[in-house]
Each structure stands twice: as structure tokens, then as C-alpha cells.
Chains A and B, each alone.
Chain A
Amino acid sequence: MLFIIAWRNIWRNKGRSLVVMGSIVVGIWALIFATGAMNAFMVGYMADIINHDVSNLQVHHPDFKTDRDVQFTIPNGEQKADELRHWEGVKATTTRTLVNGMIASPRKASGVQIRGVDVANETRVTAVDSLITEGSFFQNVRRNPIVLGNQLAEELRVSERSKVVLTFNDANGNITSAAFRVDGIVKSSSVNISKQYAFVKQEDLTRLLGLGGLVHELAILTEPHFDEKIVVDEYQSKYPDDLIETWREISPEMDMMQEMYGSMLYVLMVIIMLALVFGIINTMLMAVLERTRELGMLMAVGMSKVRVYSLVLLETIFLGILGAPIGLGLGYLTIRYFSETGVDLSQYSEGLESFGYSSILYPYIESGTYFQIVIAVLITAFVGAVYPAWKAVRLKPVEALHMI
């Protein structure tokens, strides 16, 4: 009968019950959407960086990271790249020749990282060609083509077919310059690609460096969900003189970002839940104070404090049980809708993109997270009911009975 009383009590004041239910619905929905959006930020950001820039694994000469000298190459880099393509879990590999230098247009000059890429393999590993917004990825210009990021192109005030001059040290330490013609412009949320890289053909760069077959970087794309560690261990045991690293080691800031997002989400959850707790405390307390006389009577005729306490908690739990599926459904539908259409943040995207984020978010949530959110909100609702329930059992029947 306690269940019956609790159930019927919640319909006594429909408006108030709907407020509590509404706050539970909104709480769950907000948490689901916030988590989805955060995931979209994080996953979009990481996917952009892994897919188009860092790739899953990279091999370098151990000294290359500290001193980006031309001489620190990977011995037999091309053969190793060929060999790795046959390894289990490896989807594609490519080699790069890297050198730091200057890029100059008739208007301006800027420091760049010149990336000599193996065009066919590069597109397989980083799909950087898919980022082309203007021109082509080494298709149109025959002699010394160069592909630049959109921000760098803007800075240099160049466009497709413009001429730029690259200046860098060759293998002998001599300064060398060469003219290149812009073949394409790529646009990416990755700051590296859009601002710091200048892509040239590997054969052009090695020719200018004065040595053929220079490989400074070997990038490996693994199959989705394949444990990168397996390739790392195998490679390291086979080629102990090379340095192989995962994207986490190459871009530690991404790992940090992931953690930071975790804590931001946590803070957001706490704020939403606090609002929910106070909302529930407020309404349930009203419900208790309004029924002071009735609760006093229940205790006068012999209803134990445990039962009175349970009654108030049960009412909140019922509201939670009613609200949770609605919030869950709304949250699920919102995520589903936006995971297909995306949330367009292009109005604010200039700011976002300069931080390396995509302007369209595709929220997504793992199915287990839905469950966790519902449980968290139900626990919050329960916590919110504790004080009103405690207040109810603190009533003295003799005083409560004489209240109007």
C-alpha cells in the first residue's frame, strides 16, 4: 500500500510532479547531449589529427626528434615501408623527407616544415588529398608542384598557380633555394596542416637536398581498432635502432586534451546534477510541508519513521522512473539526429578552427554511457529526496496534527 500511496500522491499535484519529472528529463537530456557534444569535439579533433596528420604510428631516427638534422634518416626506409605493408594490422605506410626552411611569396615570407611526400602512399595514409579546397594534390602542376595549407596561403597571399620560393639547407649544409608553383590548397582543422606544412613531392625534395632516398619519417596507418602496441613491439624488436612511437607519444597534447575533456565533462555533470538536486529538494520539500498534517496523522496512527521516510523517497523514485525513459528517449533521438546532420558551429568556427576543431560537430555516445547517465541522474534524484524525507520524519505528530 506504501507503493499505492506514493504512486497516487505524485498525481495529487500534477503540476509539481511534472516540474520534478521535467527536471529529471532535462537533466538526463542535457547530460546525454553534453557528453555527445564533448565526444564529438574530442573524437572529431583526434580523428582529424590522426587521420590527416600524425597517423597511428611513426618511425624516426632516434635523434631526429631532438635535432631535425637532414642526416638523421631511417636506414632503408623505403624497404621497411614496403615490408610493413604486409604486416598484420597495418593498412598503409608512407615515407616522408622532412626539412625545415623558409617559404617566400612576392608579398611575404614564413617559416615552414617542408614535407617531401610519396604522393600515392601519402594519400593512402593521411588522405590529405581529401582536404583539397582549391587546385589539386600534385595532379596539375608538372614542375616543382607544392601544396599549402589555407592559412599559410592566406598569410603569403598566394593562390593556385602562384609561385613561391623554398629556402633550406641541403645535405651538405649549403643553403639552397628553389621555385615551386602552388598546385593546391588544403583546408584542415589541424593547425599543422593549415599553417605549418608545405607539401612537395619527395623526389623533388631529395633532388634538391642532393641525396636520393632520404627518409626521415615513416608513417603507419593501422586497421581500425587494431592494437597499435603489437606493431610497435614487433617493429622495435626487429629494428631496435629506430624509434617507433604511437600517436599518444608523438602528440602528448592530445592525451592531455582527452584528460582535460574528461574533467570538463565531469565538472559539467556535477553542475547539472547540483541544479537537479536543488530543484528536487525544493519541490519535494514543498510536497512534504504541504502535507505536514497528513504525515503527522500517519505517524500518530502508527506509521513508522522508516515507512514515512520511504514514502517520500518512493515518490521521488517514481518520478525518476517516469522521467528517466523520456529523458533517455529525447537524448537518444537528439544524438541520433545530430550524429547524421551534425551541429553546425560555423558561426563560431573561425575561433574554433584556429584551435584545431572542426566547425561541424557530430555528437555520439557509446551505448553504455546512456545507462551510466540514467543511473547517475536517478541517484541524484534520490539524493535530492533525502533531505525532504528527513524533514518529514522529523515532524512531531502532535505539532503536525494541529497545523493547518
Chain B
Amino acid sequence: MSIIKAENITKIYNHTVVPVHALNGVTLEIDRGEFTAIVGPSGCGKTTLLNILGGLDHPTSGSVELANTDITSLNDGQLIDFRLKNIGFVFQAYNLIPVLTTMENVEFIMLLQKRTKKDREARAMELLSQMGIAEKANQRPSQLSGGQQQRVAVARALASKPQFILADEPTANLDSKSTSSLLDIMADMNREEGATFVFSTHDQRVIEKARRVITLEDGRVVKDERK
């Protein structure tokens, strides 16, 4: 059953006089439980596509249906609420809240969802253990390495059991050791929690790990292969 359904989406940035076509009619479907990488050279539209699939940006035309909801018809407030309930985000620059501890960062989304303290703490601890950073629970992001920070970010994205997780170049700032351990963790989560992952990447190691690879070029899907 597809959880992401994008049909013929285009995105044109009207940069003053010359319009830039970031996406030129992308159509794709991603099923629940998939582990998908969106790849392509720089400027091919990966991040734009991910932003649109994450409800962070509106397509110029086309429709986007996420978890059976047409998000193109939602206003900003509704989109925020939709993202909170359905989507987990992992960013290239980790983007953790610097003033909160690791534990609090993981709890944060659940708190916005008004989950109980007991519930939040149990889930956050469970995820941190799975990520192998339980002992860092009370440390601030600035005290962690890049790899550890990204693991916290993945834990945060998974905490509320979203419908799917979007990760924009999650390994771009990591060394190879951190990359492979993060990929292992995400693959485990995909298997154990049934979490749906969609990455944008041009990291070969991520592409190798992905079970489906969608290749974009000049804003178009040029290849879609499943392993």
C-alpha cells in the first residue's frame, strides 16, 4: 500500500526573469516499509522533491498524497500539524535543539504531541538504547560527535512512530565509520519498527544499502530500480 503518492509534480522557482524548473513532472509512489534513496547529481531536484514530499514546500503543479491526505490542499497551520503527526525529519546538519539534552531532544516531538511524561521517557530511552547512545542521554548536542548527533536526530524522527521518515543527505557530514553505523541503525529500524525511510543522497554507501533507488536528473525521474 503506497504511503507517498506524487503525481506529475513540477516546481518552478521564479528567479526574477529566468524561471528555474527544479522538478519537471515527477510521478512516484512509495509503499509502507520501503527503504528508498533518491539520488542524482547536485541540482537535480532531490532536496526540492524531499521538501515537497515532507510538506515543507508547495509544488507549482501536480498532486501529493501522503498517508491518504492530499497535502496540496492544506494551509500552513494544517501542514505543521500534519507533519507533526505523520512525518519524521532527519537533516543534513542534524538540527538538534542545542539547549536540550539528548533525551529531551528525542522527547521533544512526543511532547508536541502531548504524550505523557512516562510514555515519552520510556520511548526515548528505548530508542537511545537501540541507537547505542543511552549513556549520552543527559548530554547536550555540543558534547556529542557528528555521528552521535545524527543518531539522536534519527531517534527524534522515529520517536513518535511517524508514517515515514524523510532524510535529506543524512550522511553528508559524517565520516565513513559513522555513516555505516548510522545506516545499520536505520536499516534495523526499518526492519524492526517497520519505519519507512526516504533519503536524498549522493553517498554511494547509502545507495548500496537502499532497497530501492530512484534517480533524478534535471527534475525528472530517469531510473527507478528495486533490489
A5-B97, A5-B100, A300-B54 are contacts. A305–B112 as well, Cβ < 8 Å?
A: no
A12-B98, A297-B95 are contacts. A304–B89 as well, Cβ < 8 Å?
A: no
Interface size class of A (residues with CB under 8 A): 20 to 34
Per a CB cutoff under 8 Å, which of B83, B85, B93, B111 touches A300? Answer: B83
- Residues in B whose Cβ lies below 8 Å from that of A299: 80
Q: How many angstroms from the CA of A86 to the CA of B7 in the assembled complex?
A: 100
* Interface membership of A397, Cβ < 8 A: yes
- Residues in A whose Cβ lies below 8 Å from that of B144: none
* Interface membership of A124, Cβ < 8 A: no
The CB with the most chain A CB atoms within 10 A, among B57, B80, B95, B98, is that of B80
* Interface membership of B1, Cβ < 8 A: no
The residue on B at minimum CB distance from A8 is B99
Q: Are A304 and B104 in contact (CB under 8 A)?
A: no
* Interface membership of B109, Cβ < 8 A: yes
* Interface membership of B70, Cβ < 8 A: no
* Interface membership of B107, Cβ < 8 A: yes
**Seed contacts A1-B108, A5-B100, A302-B84; 13 additional CB < 8 Å A-B pairs:** A1-B104, A1-B107, A1-B111, A4-B104, A8-B99, A297-B91, A299-B80, A300-B89, A302-B83, A303-B112, A304-B112, A305-B76, A398-B56
The residue on A at minimum CB distance from B83 is A302
A1-B104, A1-B107, A398-B51 are contacts. A302–B85 as well, Cβ < 8 Å?
A: yes
Q: Are B77 and A305 in contact (CB under 8 A)?
A: yes
* Interface membership of B81, Cβ < 8 A: yes
Please list 18 pairs of residues, one from A and one from B, whose beta carbons are closer than 8 Å in the complex, sorted by A's number: A1-B100, A1-B104, A1-B107, A5-B97, A8-B100, A12-B99, A297-B91, A297-B97, A300-B54, A300-B56, A301-B84, A301-B88, A301-B109, A302-B85, A303-B84, A304-B81, A307-B112, A401-B56
Q: Are A401 and B57 in contact (CB under 8 A)?
A: no
Per a CB cutoff under 8 Å, which of B54, B56, B80, B111 touches A304? Answer: B80
Q: How many angstroms from the CA of A95 to the CA of B108 in the assembled complex?
A: 82
- Provide the B82-122 mask, 1 if CB < 8 A to any CB of A, else 0: 01110011010101011110001001110110000000000
A398-B56, A398-B57 are contacts. A302–B109 as well, Cβ < 8 Å?
A: yes
- Residues in A whose Cβ lies below 8 Å from that of B156: 301
The CB with the most chain B CB atoms within 10 A, among A297, A301, A401, is that of A301
* Interface membership of A204, Cβ < 8 A: no
* Interface membership of A293, Cβ < 8 A: yes
Q: Are B100 and A401 in contact (CB under 8 A)?
A: no
Q: Are A304 and B77 in contact (CB under 8 A)?
A: yes
- Residues in B whose Cβ lies below 8 Å from that of A5: 97, 99-100
* Interface membership of A162, Cβ < 8 A: no
Q: How many angstroms from the CA of A307 to the CA of B114 in the assembled complex?
A: 13
Per a CB cutoff under 8 Å, which of A4, A294, A301 touches B89? Answer: A301
- Residues in A whose Cβ lies below 8 Å from that of B100: 1, 4-5, 8
The residue on A at minimum CB distance from B54 is A300
* Interface membership of A9, Cβ < 8 A: yes
B interface, CB within 8 angstroms of A: 51, 54, 56-57, 76-77, 80-81, 83-85, 88-89, 91, 93, 95, 97-100, 104, 107-109, 111-112, 156
> Which chain A residues (37-83) contact chain B, with CB distance < 8 Å?
none
* Interface membership of A298, Cβ < 8 A: yes
Per a CB cutoff under 8 Å, which of B80, B93, B95, B98 touches A303? Answer: B80
The residue on A at minimum CB distance from B94 is A297
A5-B100, A301-B109, A303-B112 are contacts. A401–B80 as well, Cβ < 8 Å?
A: no
**A297 smallest CB distance to B (angstroms):** 4
The residue on A at minimum CB distance from B85 is A302
- Residues in A whose Cβ lies below 8 Å from that of B80: 299, 302-305
Q: How many angstroms from the CA of A8 to the CA of B98 in the assembled complex?
A: 9
**B76 smallest CB distance to A (angstroms):** 8
A5-B97, A294-B98, A302-B84 are contacts. A401–B77 as well, Cβ < 8 Å?
A: no
Q: How many angstroms from the CA of A300 to the CA of B56 in the assembled complex?
A: 7
- Residues in A whose Cβ lies below 8 Å from that of B56: 300, 397-398, 401
> Which chain A residues (1-34) contact chain B, with CB distance < 8 Å?
1, 4-5, 8-9, 12
Q: How many angstroms from the CA of A298 to the CA of B105 in the assembled complex?
A: 11
Q: How many angstroms from the CA of A341 to the CA of B181 in the assembled complex?
A: 73
**B47 smallest CB distance to A (angstroms):** 8
Q: Are A301 and B104 in contact (CB under 8 A)?
A: no
The residue on B at minimum CB distance from A6 is B99
- Residues in B whose Cβ lies below 8 Å from that of A298: 97
**A4 smallest CB distance to B (angstroms):** 7
Q: How many angstroms from the CA of A1 to the CA of B81 in the assembled complex?
A: 18
**B168 smallest CB distance to A (angstroms):** 9
**A38 smallest CB distance to B (angstroms):** 43
Q: How many angstroms from the CA of A4 to the CA of B111 in the assembled complex?
A: 12
Q: How many angstroms from the CA of A1 to the CA of B112 in the assembled complex?
A: 9
Q: Are A294 and B85 in contact (CB under 8 A)?
A: no
Per a CB cutoff under 8 Å, which of B57, B81, B93, B104 touches A302? Answer: B81
- Residues in A whose Cβ lies below 8 Å from that of B112: 301-304, 307
- Residues in A whose Cβ lies below 8 Å from that of B51: 398
Q: Are B95 and A401 in contact (CB under 8 A)?
A: yes
**B192 smallest CB distance to A (angstroms):** 23
A4-B100, A301-B83, A302-B84 are contacts. A293–B95 as well, Cβ < 8 Å?
A: yes
Q: How many angstroms from the CA of A305 to the CA of B112 in the assembled complex?
A: 12
**B67 smallest CB distance to A (angstroms):** 14
**A324 smallest CB distance to B (angstroms):** 23
- Residues in B whose Cβ lies below 8 Å from that of A12: 98-99
> Which chain A residues (287-338) contact chain B, with CB distance < 8 Å?
293-294, 297-305, 307
**A305 smallest CB distance to B (angstroms):** 7
